[in-house]
Structure 1
């Protein structure tokens, strides 16, 4: 069976068509992975997925709207000037809409309560879902994310210059650009597997439809900008929360993680020395352990019953 054969789809009643995958036993405790800006469900390392299933979780991951094999929004992307000025187009979707997509996927799968794990923009979506639907969230793990407060969590200037480049026009250019960006935002302490990363970047291009699909990335950037400062909303999160960030993150400055932990009552903050903005092989096992430990302290943990409806 090819990887594409594992993809499943749901047409949400009031939203886009989402592509998702499920790993693990049907009766296992549900855990939902939410990917970041411009990356699809395959961005979660298989080692991480396998680690969670081995610990008794049923792992659900999906393509956010405008990426991968999920549907594209029929609206023009914001221009570069709008992005630089943080002025979304009127009517642009925001993180609340993306959290509603996630909520709809849980309904489709019959999951009452779930452990949420989100990275970067996915962490923002997870925070929003946890704040607006506390009854559906058993725990929250927010990885290298931020609150939307523009005084914290900002990319390094060198990172912004790389992100300002025009989208790649060929698969070769896309793959090389990914590897180059990863060398910039990753970390020598937790080195990436270059062969694995090249294969992933190639798969992302093919799953997403090539250059034509990249218009979704500026719309996702616009969603973040349209949501503004979410610090007050994060203060309404009641689920047990773990906030993980790297000390060497050039994409989302470590102040973003510190602000997130400060905003969420009772949260635990773990800053990993030398980690950048990447789920490198050297940190995956620790992230699985940290998230599992968090889940074990809730009423919905591996070995317990009552997870799915």
Structure 2
């Protein structure tokens, strides 16, 4: 019963409660890989990727021990999800792992194979998106697409993920299907509302704001940011750090892209996002924010600090294998130096 409660808390993103439930289960001697990977998911959502990695390695050790003791089949049911979550976690923290291929795990998840299989599929889809392999992304998402019509939680997750990954990695040119991404963001928002999942609603509104900005609807973008901030104000959850960082990033983008050229407020919100991503260790996100922070700072200050921001970002993008953003940084450095 408690394990089912933990799964529910993770699904609706009640992360503070989920972490307490997971720790209670572990303290009671429930040493199951699923408890560990569910705990790791909540840790990732609140931005504690370092601890999530530790927990996932514990889960991997448990899976291997059960295999060796003959208590599990050769393919442990938790094996694919633990491996996929750990790979995604390493990609966040370690730039050299950012474009790592899924080693065939993309085919490990099949419809009806359980919640863990769907999580593994999602992690593999993220991996494919980072590599710009959209065919592999669609393949990985198939098991999730198969359950969306009957599972509102996965419907929201799938819609929000497609928007975020498209905007993150179909860069620097905006995706051609912005109207579809806008519909996906709204679909995600409605799904998360139906679940009363407030963190999910904040994330969906953040992605909707990004789409609207890409469509040059700056006023609409600001409106979504304000609604998301209102939701955040009533949220007493540790996930607020990452949610606010995402909002601050798009807010800074809107300030820089708006006709008013609001460099000072852009610098303030981007500096807050930079601090948050430094805290969570999300290297690629930190580099993205630093580029925009440099561009805002260049409008206000001598170019020295701006050049350093872009140089650090360029080194991160190069380590990640993000050729497009690395090239953009090089062009900025050539123009500024």
User: Same fold judged by TM-score > 0.5?
Assistant: no
Structure with the bigger percentage of strand: 1
Q: Give me the TM-score of the superposition, normalised by structure 1.
A: 0.26
Q: Give me the TM-score of the superposition, normalised by structure 2.
A: 0.24
Give the structure with higher Rg (CA). 2
Between 1 and 2, higher relative CO (CA 8 Å, sep ≥ 6) is seen in 1
